[in-house]
Structure 1
Amino acid sequence: MTILKAENISKQYRLGLVGTGTLSHDLNRWWAGIRGKEDPYLKVGSVNDRSTKADSDYVWALKDINFEVQQGEVLGIIGKNGAGKSTLLKILSRVTIPTTGEIKTKGRIASLLEVGTGFHPELTGRENIYLNGAILGMSKAEIKSKEAEIIDFSGCERYVDTPVKRYSSGMRVRLAFAVAAFLEPDILVIDEVLAVGDAEFQKKAIGKMQDISKGEGRTVLFVSHNMAAVENLCTRLIVLENGYVSYMGEVDEGVNVYLNQSKSINNDLTIKNSNLIINEFYLTDKYGNKLHALSLGKSSSLNFEFKFLTEVKSVVVKIEVKDVRDNVVLILNNFHTNQVFDIKKPIVKLVCEIDRVQLFPGIYKLNLEVLDFNKRLNILKEENFYELHVDSGDFYGSGIIPRAKHNGVFLTNHSWQISNDF
């Protein structure tokens, strides 16, 4: 069942100081409305790219956003800073109205858009629980039945009768999330506020959101820059870029789109000697989309286009992956996989597929060797021919991101068992 629907949502803002020249604009809008004409300022406005100089007094924070959310779904909304994520959530939460378009919802919406959302600083934590419940339309008896669970989950029992203005930002988030989650809204909207909490609370909060969606059939809209949390929690993903939807669909592919938004693909790599020219080298995901970086735990490929200038019957390609200390941490070699290739044309494409990237997030250097296997001759040897970036990811599907600082240089699939029969 569709519980939320966004139809042609756009949001326009005026740049500069509030009140500067707006009277004339308001009169122009009023006069256009009297004559039954379209708002003249809806025809102007630049793309919401925060890094470029404005060429108009108006900017579209969001433009033509359309999507539906089903009951029990966890929809992730990701994008760079300034992409329009918070604006979209504010519109969905009725904090602000869209310039054009319409939001249709069924049921109650609870929002956690910033630290202490909906809390009155002079009231105690307990009083704010009842205030938020009343705002959601709940009776005092309904709120009281949830009060103990809210306080216990928040971990703020000692301070629950202290005014919220004396809480730390982490304590406010703890209590605000507990209130939003336990007062049973049909749609829970969470912006990037959980990052304020500590690791233990983030884990509890993600677990609670999973319970809300899977166990209780309620809907969650989740914005975060923590890709491990997004992958672990969300069932579908929207990627925003400069106010537009650049991707909507599967979580894995959406994360790849997001990670590659701020980087530029370099196809200018040319390596050559008297035997061989490498016309092109690039990375792709499992869908064939070009990447700017690999992601921990994801399937990826390394793609070469070779042009042989001398006759070669069979080829072995060896890639050494080195860490920042020049230690070789991984070797990719088609000889080891017993896949020595016969070369029948001078220009060939060679692809090395990696089932799951096991390198920790970081920057690596690649060494390359190309050999004629039949003649046992080295055709090309190039050190540091490519700087490889590896982004973080939820390798084990546990919601916990392994960190190279505390662990080894690469990961592998493994499992543990325990027996009490001894």
Structure 2
Amino acid sequence: MPIIEVNHVTKEYQLGQLQSMKTTLFNKWRRLRGHSIDERPPFKALDDVNFSIEQGEVVGIIGHNGAGKSTLLKLLANISKPSSGTVQVKGKIAPLIEVGAGLVGDLTGRENIYLNGAILGIPKVEIRRKFDDIVAFAELEEFIDTPIKRYSSGMQVRLGFSIATSVESDILIVDEVLAVGDLAFQRKCFDRMEDLIKRQGKTVLLVSHNIRQVERLSGRAILLDHGQVAADGLPEVVCDLFFARSDEKIKTQIGDISTSSVSTEEFDLIDLKFINKHNCKIDRVESNSDVTASMHFRVHKELRNPTFGLGIHTPDFLYLATQNTENIKHYGTILPGEYVLRCKIIRFPFLPGIYSLRAGVTDGEAVRTVFYAENLFHFQVIPKAGGILTTSARDGFVTLDVDWSLDDIQACKLKEGR
């Protein structure tokens, strides 16, 4: 028996600014007289959405910004009503949609715990019983009798998360709240979520832009796209579809940087690209295959003992690898002119996804940077032809070249005994 049922749900909003009372009355008067008025087109945040969730299921809801994720959660939490269709929820809901939004600045942390607990439906007796645990989890023992307006934003969200996750509920609705506070507190939030999911068996709806996190915590995933359900099934399948669509979107949004923006008085980067064995430019690289990076540049002033560097980073600038010619290749003096530097990468180790190249040049004699730039060339890594994208190929950025062995300890002991 489903604990949540969503049947043909559509949620529409009117685009444009809100109208004044005067404008509204004037438009009604024009309608009565048979005159036409300029109608603002409706926007469908959700469009005929259908799904059901069984008790104890953990469902991740993913999609790009504006796909309808938060709108859906607000309907399930009864914060908003659908324009059409029905939403049926059986059981008590604890919504973690806007952590700390209900905190009152002039009240102390203690007073806010009781106030928010009452808003979330926690009996006063239960709040008293859980009070010390709420304060301890939020790490606010010294400040609990201080007005909230004197808290930092991190302190406020820690208190809000601690209160919300203390609710005894059947369904937990979580919207981008596992990234609150500093790294240590984020770890605590994640551990608490795992406890609610794996040990307490809560029904959980989880929205996060951290897709790997959704894949790890969820037993099922729903992909929303422009207000519609694009996919519903196993997390690894749905998340892979999301990554594939995201990769294509990134490729259409970003292009190679113009050479005019990557020049210095001494150095012009004319081109940076990947080439295949036929010397043709490619922007798709098979994982674990050989590929060559080619840097075409112009030198305006003499460089003595230069070092060339090449690096790879994600679109959000997470540095993944760096390699340079120092202690590997010595080029002595490079005179003014045009050159092409090639760097062959053996068994390119990165897993499928979108990546970018960065490059730099230093003058060895003066020990100074002649040129450095990031986001110079964007490329996509794809699975090797005929290869299968295994579970391990989704967990991380690189493949490991390993050799496994299994020994029977008892057999080894018998062999040594002989």
TM-score under structure 2 length normalisation: 0.61
Deviation at 1:184, TM superposition (A): 1.6
Which amino acid is 1:331 matched to? Answer: R
**C-alpha RMSD over aligned residues:** 4.3
User: Where in structure 2 are there 5+ consecutive unaligned residues?
Assistant: 32-38, 252-275, 294-310, 313-322, 324-341, 359-376, 384-389, 405-418
2:148 is matched with which residue? 164
Could you tell me which of 337, 344, 347 is aligned with 1:331?
347
Does 2:189 correspond to 1:173? no
1:126 Cα shift? Answer: 1.8
1:310 aligned partner = none
Q: Is the 1:189–1:222 contact (alpha carbons within 8 Å) kept by the matching residues of 2?
A: yes
Shift of 1:117: 2.5
Q: Classify 1:25/1:7 alpha carbon distance in 2 versus 1 (closer, same or farther; 3 Å).
A: farther
Alpha-carbon contact 1:210-1:233 (below 8 Å) kept = yes
Evaluate the alpha carbon distance shift between residue 115 and residue 177 of structure 1 in structure 2; reply closer, same or farther with a 3 A threshold.
Answer: closer
User: CA 1:249–1:331 in structure 2 vs 1: closer, same or farther (change >3 Å)?
Assistant: same
Could you say which structure has the larger radius of gyration? 2
Alpha-carbon distance between aligned partners in 1 of 2:403 and 2:111, rounded to the nearest angstrom: 48
- Residues 285-304 of structure 1 mapped to structure 2, 5 A cutoff: none
Equivalent in the alignment of 1:206: 190
Find the aligned partners of 1:26 and 1:105 in 2 and give their Cα distance: 38
Q: How does 1:112-151 map to 2 (within 5 A)?
A: 112-151=96-135
Say which SS state the counterpart of residue 245 (structure 2) adopts.
coil
In the alignment, the residues of structure 2 paired with residue 111 and residue 141 of structure 1 have an alpha-carbon distance, to the nearest angstrom, of: 21
CA gap 1:321/1:76 in 2 versus in 1, 3 angstroms: farther
Structure 2 partner of 1:34: none
1:48 alignment partner in structure 2: none
* Residue matched to 1:19: 19
2:63 aligns with 79
1:63, distance to aligned residue in structure 2 (A): 0.8
Q: CA shift at 1:318, angstroms?
A: 6.0
Partner of 1:387: 379
Residues 28-85 of structure 1 deviation map (CA, whole Å, 9 limit, x = unaligned): 99xxxxxxxxxxxxxxxxxxxxxxxxx9621101111111222222211111111111
Q: Does structure 1 retain, via aligned residues, the 8 Å contact 2:5–2:89?
A: yes
Q: How does 1:6-405 map to 2 (within 5 A)?
A: 6-19=6-19, 22=24, 57-264=41-248, 319-320=290-291, 324=312, 328-331=344-347, 358=351, 362-363=355-356, 387-389=379-381
Q: Which protein is richer in helix relative to its size?
A: 2
Equivalents in 2 of 1:108, 1:165: separation in Å?
31
Q: Secondary structure at the match of 2:60?
A: strand
The alpha-carbon distance between structure 1 residues 244 and 358, as it changes in their structure 2 partners (threshold 3 A), is closer
Q: Deviations over 1:308-352 (max 9, x none)?
A: xxxxxxxxx9633765457555427xxxxxxxxxxxxxxxxxxxx
8 Å Cα contact 2:67/2:224 also seen in 1: yes
SS for the counterpart of 1:362 is strand
How many residues were matched structurally? 303
Judging changes above 3 Å, is the alpha-carbon distance between structure 1 residues 358 and 411 closer, same or farther for their aligned structure 2 residues?
A: farther
Instruction: State the alpha-carbon separation in 1 of the partners of residues 127 and 166 from structure 2.
Output: 9
- Whether the 8 Å contact between 2:134 and 2:166 is mirrored in structure 1 is yes
Alpha-carbon distance in structure 2 between the residues aligned to 1:395 and 1:119: 42
Task: Output one character per residue of 1:359-402: Cα deviation in whole Å (capped at 9) or x when no partner.
Answer: 8973379xxxxxxxxxxxxxxxxxxx9933489x99699xxx86
